[in-house]
Each structure stands twice: as structure tokens, then as C-alpha cells.
Amino acid sequence: MADFDQELDASGLNCPLPILRAKKALASLSSGQVLHIIATDPGAVKDFEAFAKQTGNELMEHKEEGGKFYFLMRKS
Amino acid sequence: MSEKKLAIIATKGTLDWAYPPFILASTAAALGYQVQVFFTFYGLQLLKKKPDLQVTSLGNPGMPMPMPMPVLLQALPGMQGMMTSMMKKKMKSKGVASVEELREMCLEAEVKMVACQMTVDLFDMSRDDFIDGIDYGGAATFFEFAGDSDICLYV
């Protein structure tokens, strides 16, 4: 995965906490910076896509590996 | 993009039904919605400083039980407390936020919470019972915001 500016480990957290934590983390970044999010909630995949679509932040990449989900999100 | 608005009426005061209003309100706020929640009747319990929310299987045949149990047994003293602590334990183990945690996030995200003044009076509750940072109002207050809302939910 590409470089990132900040990492958020939301492993073990369930809906809607990964989204709420990500929102908080993005607020501390400046426009163009990238947040790396780790989650274990399978619902997070669809939720982060929907979050990106509605907030304008770009979901650059996401993948699943060993039961974990990884996301790269660039702040708009 | 003009801000969308979500209006919710929260009427239930049990542990399970505390979740929908707070989950939806906090998530909508994270998505950029302006949110107002109107708490009325038993929903007022969700605004207490120290909410003592319980869950019961009585009158709720849809609740998953660890083992089948006749309704009369479910009504025995202590059963509600047991079910509540089992539910809380399960929520914690599954990484589900506590009600207080979600409520705090709503307040941080500037979700506006309005307690129904009529039901506060009806139940002889005092403003001291409730958390700070909330408003008090009536049906007209709700419609002032809900009338312009994009989504309006009754929970």
C-alpha cells in the first residue's frame, strides 16, 4: 500500500465506531493527507465506500488480508 | 453541497432501543448532516446523567435467547438484571460502543438534543437529572427543525 500520514487501528470495533474514529482522525489531517485505517468489522468495507462517497474524501485503496481490512483514505 | 438534515424522535428507554437513535445521529453527523434528536416519554431515560438502561425478553419473542425459556420463567425476579448484564457483556466482547460513549460522540459532533418538556413535567423529572448541553422544548420546537429535514425518523 502507498504511503500514509497517519494510522488508525479500529480492530475489534463495531459499527459505527470505525467510521466515527476515522472521521475524528481525518479532522486532524490537512487536505491531501492520507489516513491508513485497519478494521476487522466486515461491514466496514461497504461503510467506508459510502462514507467516502458522501463526504468527498477519496477511498484510494482497500484490501483484505488475514481477516483484516485495510483502507487508505485521502482527505478532501 | 448544502448541509442535509436528519430529525429523529426517540421514544424508547431500554438498552437495546437506545442504540438506533445514537448510532444514526452520530453517523449522520460524521457524514456532515445537521442532526436533531427529540427525546420524549421513555426516551428521556437516554438523557439521564447516569442512565440505568435495561433490556428484557418479556413481550419480545424476537430476542435471541441462549436457551429456550417459558415466558413465566423470564418474568422471575432477577431475570431482567441478568439479561441486561449478559447483553452488556456481549456488546463489549463484540466491540459495540456503550450508550454513554455514543451519546458523548453525538454531543461532540454537535448533535442537538431536545428533551420534551411536557414529559419531563409529566414524570416529575428535574432538569438536574439530565446531562448538560441539551435543550428543552415541545412539539413546535421539533417541527421547526423537522419541517426542513431531509430524513425524519421515529424510533
Cβ-count burial of A15 within 10 angstroms (0-12 exposed, 13-18 middle, 19+ buried)?
middle
Contacts with B92 from chain A: Cβ below 8 Å = none
Strand residues in chain B grouped as ranges (E): 5-10, 34-39, 112-116, 135-137, 151-154
Number of domains chain A contains: 1
CATH number at residue B135: 3.40.1260.10
Of the candidates B1, B26, B94, the beta carbon closest to that of A16 is on B26
Label residues B73-96 b or e (16+ Cβ within 10 Å = b).
ebeeeeebeebbeebbeebeeebb
Active-site residue list of A: 15
Size of interface A-B (CB pairs under 8 A): 32
Closest residue, chain B, to A57 (C-alpha): B31
Contact A51 B32 (CB under 8 A): no
Closest residue, chain B, to A51 (C-alpha): B31
Interface of B with A (CB under 8 A): 1, 23, 26-27, 30-32, 94-97, 105
Across B21-44, average pLDDT: 98
Closest residue, chain B, to A39 (C-alpha): B95
ipTM of predicted assembly, 2 dp? 0.89
What is the domain range of residue B141? 5-54+99-154
Residue A31 domain flag = yes
Residue B36 domain flag = yes
Quote the pLDDT of residue B66: 86
Of the candidates B1, B26, B95, the beta carbon closest to that of A20 is on B26
Contact A54 B23 (CB under 8 A): no
CA atoms of B89 and B96, how far apart (whole Å): 10
Q: Which amino acid is at B107?
A: L
Contact A14 B23 (CB under 8 A): no
Residue A41 domain flag = yes
pLDDT tens digits, one per residue of B38-96: 999 999 999 999 999 999 999 999 999 888 899 999 999 999 999 999 999 999 999 99
Confidence of residue A2 (pLDDT cuts 50, 70, 90): confident
Number of domains chain B contains: 1
Residue A59 domain flag = yes
Residue B132 domain flag = yes
Residue B80 domain flag = no
Nearest to B134 by CA among B113, B103, B104: B113
- In angstroms, the separation between the Cα of residue B22 and the nearest Cα of chain A is 10
Residue A1 domain flag = no
Res B1 pLDDT > 70: no
